[in-house]
Structure 1
Amino acid sequence: MTPQQTAVSQVDHQYRNQGGLWDSVRKAAFIIGSGLFFLVAFRNSLMWHLQSFWGASGDFWQTQWSKLLLLFQGKEASLFFVGTMLVPTGMFWLFNGIFMLADTTGKPSFITRYRIQLDKNNPVDSAHLHHAIKIVLRNQLFYSAPMVFVTYMIMQATGDPISPQLPHFHWVLLELSICGLLEEILFYYSHRLFHHPAIYKHVHKIHHEWTAPVGVVALYAHPLEHVLSNMLPALVGPVLLRSHLSTTCLWFTLALLVTTISHCGYHLPFLPSPEFHDFHHLKFNQCYGVLGVLDRLHGTDEKFRETKAYERHTLLLSMTPLTQSIPDEPKKSQ
């Protein structure tokens, strides 16, 4: 091939790469936009029926909310902190306490038999785990808490996050869906940014010390990453939507539980599959997102889709571990 042909080939390859990226962005915008349109279209039909079904429950929670407002009368900032920080954080540590018991003792076997990487964390290194817990507590105390306070100031200035009236059921579902989509976009691109070689070794490498993650590692990160990639993607939705405290509390709790499951290292029955993010910790340069939509559009899950882990990336509806029903290929002898 002549030098001129080589130059033309390189330009053509670069153009196709840029075109592929732009095409992926347009596809992502189309899919996300279509999803939002679908949610809005069904807001006053299917969601209305769900709201009617839960009407009695809604009356019950409205009564409890009114009592809570009376209890915290004049202390709205404290109530916001309880709902957005203490409740989600308490659920995070309760959930992780169960996983840490399994990680350190190997019991109960009901959990440990569903381990994804069978040869890792069996049991987990105690010193490594204690260090991770310290970093997580630091992030929650010195970074999450101040960000929640700033969030309250913003939401108080732009709306009424502690309104006496609870939001309707269908509106809560719509807001949770939008928050999930926004988190997917912001987390995917910030996560890929932290994998840039110039940034990775200084920031994100800390999180990837765990090639076989455990639940508490979900928040084990450099402060910069914790702020920009863990907290910010979750905060943007409620701020933009001017969400009610009840919705924000529910969203933060769900987000923390989902990321815990993604890092826990166990593919348990009837819980979301953690295979996707577990593979990311194992291979580093695959599976950057939460939902996997942008990974598919950008091709950052191609290697993952060629593995047994991809076959196991499904909701487990039986009691048989997927490592048994879909085992890895036997290693070739040297």
Structure 2
Amino acid sequence: MRKEATAVSQPAQLHRVDGHLWDSVKKATFVLGSGLFFFAAFRNSVTWHFQRFWGASGDFWQTLWGMLYNYFGGNEWVLFFLGTMIIPTAVFWAFNGILMFADTTGKPSFITRYRIQVDKNNPVDPAKLRQAVKKVLFNQLFLSVPMVIVMYPVMKWRGNPCGPELPTFHWVLLEFFVFGLIEEVLFYYSHRLFHHPAIYRYVHKVHHEWTAPIGVVSLYAHPLEHILANMLPPIVGPVLMGSHVATTMLWFCMALLTTTISHCGYHLPFLPSPEFHDFHHLKFNQCFGVLGVLDRLHGTDAIFKTTKANERHILLLNFTPLSESVPDPPKQKK
């Protein structure tokens, strides 16, 4: 009887695994496909309006790149460092500057009313924030910069990252699809590795000092984690694809904005939902990935899916905070 039960249970388990895998593939296709669709629509619309406004001849983006290329006299190292470090870092701090102002002052209410953990960081502890900013600056200056310097000769070996001709738009879309998949795999498994009990308290515990994260905390990490989990996952894709620096710049900017939104602590209208990663900081052992595809496959979103946070894990298309429209259940009195 025991053997028969085992024989019956194994096909059932295989069926469940196959079901999870197929659901994960569908979710990945939907998330990445939707992102690429909106990116394509945005690019086409913006290009058309820019061309109408300025009367630009030919392809607007190619013309813009040509102007930048000529301005720096075709100096590839300067162009590469500008695209992979200076511009993405400026975008990161510009966005986080707005968020830190809201975190420390409670204004404007248009931002702060969308706080996810309403009883946390209201306002944020100034000393704790200064510590976070110092560590992020250290990681960027002494870890990110050397990695970008090493990245340059590797990219030169792979192709011509700073050539005068931009890649076609459709090729860029394909690259972004590949980048997203690579980042999901590398970040998920490196993130889970850092949660291993033998490693967590020495490395990843630094990042989890913030159980209610804020935007700048996205790069607040132990140096080893910053290299393996923050930097490598977005770098590997462009290196493998031999990408143009313009594509890499756009990808790095999007990666930094996405991780900032995931940590910002506010579920703002018309921006990707940060509920998934915010829940990870709250509970530690759930929601390890970026897209959530591998979490579904491995069952590391099982608890999250039973919570109100999962119901709020949507794109907010109105101005009513989800903490009001989908409130937490009232706490039971002891």
1:179 counterpart residue number: 179
2:113 counterpart residue number: 113
Which AA in structure 1 matches 2:76? E
Which AA in structure 1 matches 2:268? L
Which AA in structure 1 matches 2:90? G
Identity %: 64
2:245 counterpart residue number: 245
Q: Distance in 1 between matches of 2:202 and 2:19?
A: 29
Aligned length: 319
Q: Distance in 2 between matches of 1:131 and 1:53?
A: 39
Q: Distance in 2 between matches of 1:32 and 1:269?
A: 22
Q: Which runs of 5+ in 1 are unaligned?
A: none
Q: Distance in 2 between matches of 1:90 and 1:221?
A: 19
The 8 Å contact of residues 21 and 298 in structure 1, kept in 2 or not, is answered as no
The 8 Å contact of residues 275 and 313 in structure 2, kept in 1 or not, is answered as yes
2:287 counterpart residue number: 287
Specify the SS of the correspondent of 2:59: helix
1:162 counterpart residue number: 162
Q: By how many angstroms is 1:73 displaced?
A: 2.3
Q: Distance in 2 between matches of 1:132 and 1:52?
A: 38
Q: Distance in 1 between matches of 2:167 and 2:190?
A: 31
Aligned CA distance change for structure 1 residues 34 and 280 (closer, same or farther; 3 Å): closer
Over residues 214-266 of structure 1, what are the superposed CA-to-partner deviations in whole Å (9 max), with x where a residue is unaligned?
A: 00000000000000000000001100111111100000000000000000000
1:88 counterpart residue number: 88
Which AA in structure 2 matches 1:253? C
The 8 Å contact of residues 24 and 298 in structure 1, kept in 2 or not, is answered as no
User: Does residue 196 of structure 2 align to residue 196 of structure 1?
Assistant: yes
- Runs of 4+ that moved beyond 3 A: 18-35, 50-58
Q: Distance in 1 between matches of 2:44 and 2:324?
A: 41
2:297 counterpart residue number: 297
Over residues 55-108 of structure 1, what are the superposed CA-to-partner deviations in whole Å (9 max), with x where a residue is unaligned?
A: 758712211211211122252111100111000000000000000000000000
Aligned CA distance change for structure 1 residues 117 and 20 (closer, same or farther; 3 Å): farther
Q: Distance in 2 between matches of 1:29 and 1:312?
A: 20
Q: Distance in 2 between matches of 1:22 and 1:239?
A: 33
The 8 Å contact of residues 163 and 244 in structure 1, kept in 2 or not, is answered as yes
Aligned ranges 1:38-187 → 2 under 5 Å: 54=47, 59-73=59-73, 75-187=75-187
So what's the TM-score if we normalise by structure 1?
Answer: 0.87
Q: By how many angstroms is 1:21 displaced?
A: 11
Q: Distance in 2 between matches of 1:219 and 1:182?
A: 19
Q: Distance in 2 between matches of 1:293 and 1:175?
A: 19
The 8 Å contact of residues 27 and 293 in structure 2, kept in 1 or not, is answered as no
Q: Distance in 1 between matches of 2:143 and 2:200?
A: 20
Specify the SS of the correspondent of 1:286: coil
The 8 Å contact of residues 24 and 293 in structure 2, kept in 1 or not, is answered as no
1:306 counterpart residue number: 306
So what's the TM-score if we normalise by structure 2?
Answer: 0.87
Q: Distance in 2 between matches of 1:126 and 1:307?
A: 31
Q: Distance in 2 between matches of 1:219 and 1:155?
A: 24
